[in-house]
Structure 1
Amino acid sequence: MTTVCLVRHGETDWNAQGKIQGTADIPLNKAGARQAAQCGAYLTGADWDLIVTSPLQRARRTAEIINETLGLPLIEMEQFAEKHFGDAEGMTYEERALTFPNRFYPNQEDNELFAERLAAGLKIINDRFPEQRVLLVSHGGVINAILGELSNGEIGSGKTRLLNACLSHIHFDKHNWIIQNYNQVSHLQHSLSSS
């Protein structure tokens, strides 16, 4: 059984300001680097085989910090880069609500093509790394789209607010990906309460 732990990247300044990032290549801030280190400390307790990361620097740096503890092969996959949100990138929630009240963002990546890109990425992981345990460091939009697809819309995009550095687990069982859990943050809360 192929198991994937979906890790949302650590916080960036744009996250803290409520700005939508999309393909804008924003770096982690100090809090984000700390969150990544907390993920790494937590994930050492399990037997992971490799890390796959989005090429965007906030995800890649999160993966690198996690990997300082784990020392695993690290692979970049373009399929798991964040969705391009078109003209809305760089805007806060309030700015988006005023400018695009219907939530249609001109020049954004098509939802169906985005879903196809993610499905292709998961297929590559399952084909290339069968029966392995994979850490996949990516983005809120990516993880929510995957969760939405696998849950038939019960959770995910438009319904679930994923926190920075949260963990969500899926596994491939016979013919389908199954969600085990999502938006897990106890590894962060424990660390925050002790600091």
Structure 2
Amino acid sequence: MTDICLIRHGETDWNVLGKIQGKTDIPLNENGIQQANMCRDYLEAFDWDVMVTSPLIRAKRTAEIINESLQLKIIEMQEFMEKSFGDAEGKTREEREKLYPNLEYPNQESRSDLIDRIMTGLEKIISDFPNQKVLLVAHGAVIHTLLHTLLEDRSELNNTYLKNACISNIFYQENKWNVKNYNIIDHLSI
């Protein structure tokens, strides 16, 4: 069985401002650093074999902070970069609704391309790290899309906002992905 603990990156200033980030490379803010520290403190109580991260700085820095006590090999995988939101990146919800009332953002990555990219990444993890415990630091849209793709009953996930530094757990067993839990924030005290 391959276990994957999905961690959404810590908070950024754009998260606070409600700006959509996508592939724009925005660093963690002070609160995001604190959130990553709390993830580290929680996750160090468990055994892990490897850490995978998106190469975007907010995810990569979250992974580095978590890894301070774990000392795992960190592998960057493009497959887990945030979805490209095209021309909507850097805009607040109000700006996006005004400019794109139908929420169709010019030049954004399609849902099917995003799903293909994520599932390719998961296949690589199964192939490269069979029967291992993997920490995967990624992004809100990536984790939400991944969970939505794997869950058989999607109704409870549809309106769920994945909080910064939340933890979700999936596992691959008998040629099938399973979702154990998602959007866990008990480890966050702020």
Q: How many residues align?
A: 189
Corresponding position: 1:135 with 2:135 = yes
In structure 2, the residue matched to 1:107 is 107
Q: Displacement, 1:159?
A: 2.4
The unaligned stretches of length 5 or more in structure 2 are: none
Superposed displacement of residue 54, structure 1:
0.1
Give the corresponding residue for 2:7: 7
Question: What aligned pairs does 1:83-162 form with structure 2 within 5 A after superposition?
Answer: 83-152=83-152, 153-156=154-157, 159-162=159-162
Using the TM superposition, give the Cα deviation of residue 155 of structure 1 relative to its aligned residue in structure 2, in angstroms: 4.8
**Secondary structure at 1:106 match in 2:** coil
Match of 1:107, SS state, is: coil
CA distance change for structure 1 residues 154 and 127 in 2, over 3 Å: closer, same or farther?
Answer: farther
Could you state the TM-score of these two structures normalised by the residue count of structure 2? 0.97
Is 1:75 aligned to 2:75, yes or no?
yes
Q: Distance in 1 between matches of 2:146 and 2:27?
A: 23
Unaligned runs of 5+ in 1: none
Aligned to 1:56: 56
CA displacement, residues 133-166 of structure 1 (integer Å, 9 cap, x when unaligned): 000000001000001101144355x522000000
* Partner AA of 1:174 in structure 2: E
Distance (Å, rounded) in 2 between the aligned partners of 1:6 and 1:95: 30
Q: What is the TM-score when the length of structure 1 is the normalising length?
A: 0.94
Equivalent AA in structure 2 for residue 83 of structure 1: K
SS in 2 for 1:186: coil
Separation in 1 of the partners of 2:66 and 2:155? 30
